[in-house]
Amino acid sequence: MKKTGILIVVLLLFFAAGCGAPVEEPPDRVPVSEGVVDAPEAVVRWAQYEIDQLVRMLETDGFYGSEEAGLITVDILDSRIIDLRLERELPFHQESTLKLYALDFRLQPGELPDKTLFILDEESWIPSDHNFIYGDANGAELQQGQLYLLITESEAEPFSAGIRRAEVLTDEWSKDLQAYFGYPPGVHFDDSPAAIQAIHDYWKWDEEWCFTMPNEEWADGDWSTGLGYAHEWGLGIPYEFFGWEEEPAQDLVALNFAIVQRRYYKGLTVVTFDGFYGDDQLGPNFSPIQYIACTQPDCTTSRGVSVGDTVEAVQTAYPEAFWNDEVLVYAPEGTNRSILFIVKDGTVVQIDMADGLDGQYTTPAGIIPTGA
């Protein structure tokens, strides 16, 4: 499985489940909807984009009606946004805002294969209410209620997070919506003692997954830094320290940690997870190492391989290693960890150690340390 590093972007979902059957005892016709389009042009474009996705589903993907009818497609001649106005703003990831725009729209159908497929308005258009199933705040299917276009907005351009329905827009509904998208960070964290211990056990330090580097200031003359958790792991690193960068955690990482941090040394870059949601105020912060990239020639793996060694030396120390392009990969079964020996002209030029969380890195993450 190829990994390209910490996923940076939070993934925001939209799902229109399709056309629902008419509600019990539906009206023959409903009045033509009225409203006001009062939104920035960029938001209007996103609303039209989401409507176009629904139209594509109706015209191309189709949906299932009765058992006899099978898959049904419907031609849509036109679409119109009837109502689009801001109703609520919520705090969201990375200091952005999640804006909820009330949305109503109509679709003008061509010849319908079955007149009972939709509840039409008085002008024979398909109104967005009554007819289409969208998720509520928790993703459960809902066919009636106000539609809301979700727009995330920060210093960058606004971005659509899809459409949701709400029978009533309440504070509780809004909090459920934020939690669905993992906000605030840690909202889904299991803080039971057993769950916290399982995370500590997963990140247990193991000397097989560490680099050893010379440091005469320590009693045994060297220092080890590796994957997993070790208190004050950076204390004895002998290389010049250049600084660090950090960013909010995303995806799997964000389930347990708030921050991803990179620390830069000469010839060595270390990626850690910080802001563990299970930390208490009494003990040290739990901050495991997830990725190390090394170009220091005096920094060796637990089996004695270092930058500058030959391919033959790697294959002797790690006979299980296999080739993936210009990389010799040591990825034993039963773990998410791996060691990547990057080779050029038969010589190791960089060594990466990584924990892939849900699989093993077999391709380097593209982290290139400042020259040793």
Most confident range (mean pLDDT) of 149-163, 219-233, 337-351 is 337-351
Confidence grade of residue 13 (pLDDT, cut at 50, 70, 90): very low
Rounded to whole angstroms, how far apart are CA atoms 165 and 167? Answer: 7
**Which residue has tokens 């560490």?**
210
How many alpha carbons fall within 13 Å on the CB side of residue 77?
8
Confidence class for position 372, pLDDT limits 50, 70, 90 = low
**How confident is the model at residue 62, as a pLDDT?**
87
Distances (CA, A) of 14 to 19, 50, 55, 150, 200: 15, 8, 14, 10, 35
Residue 252 has pLDDT above 70, yes or no: yes
Q: Tell me the per-residue pLDDT of 151-185, one tens digit each, with 9 for 90 and over.
A: 999 887 899 999 999 999 999 999 999 999 989 98
Q: What is the pLDDT of residue 27?
A: 67
- Asked if 106 and 33 count as a contact pair (C-beta separation under 8 A), the reply is yes
Q: Which of 296, 112, 292 is nearest to 210 (CA)?
A: 292
3-state secondary structure of 348: strand
Phi, psi dihedral angles at 258 (to 5 degrees): -95, -25
Indicate yes or no: pTM above 0.75: no
Q: What is the pLDDT of residue 25?
A: 57
Residue-range domain boundaries for the chain = 16-180, 198-355
Mean pLDDT of 131-150: 94
* Closest C-alpha to 88, from 16, 144, 137: 137
Helix, strand, coil shares of the chain, percent, nearest 5, are 15, 35, 45
pLDDT single digits (tens) 89-116: 999 988 899 999 999 999 999 999 888 8
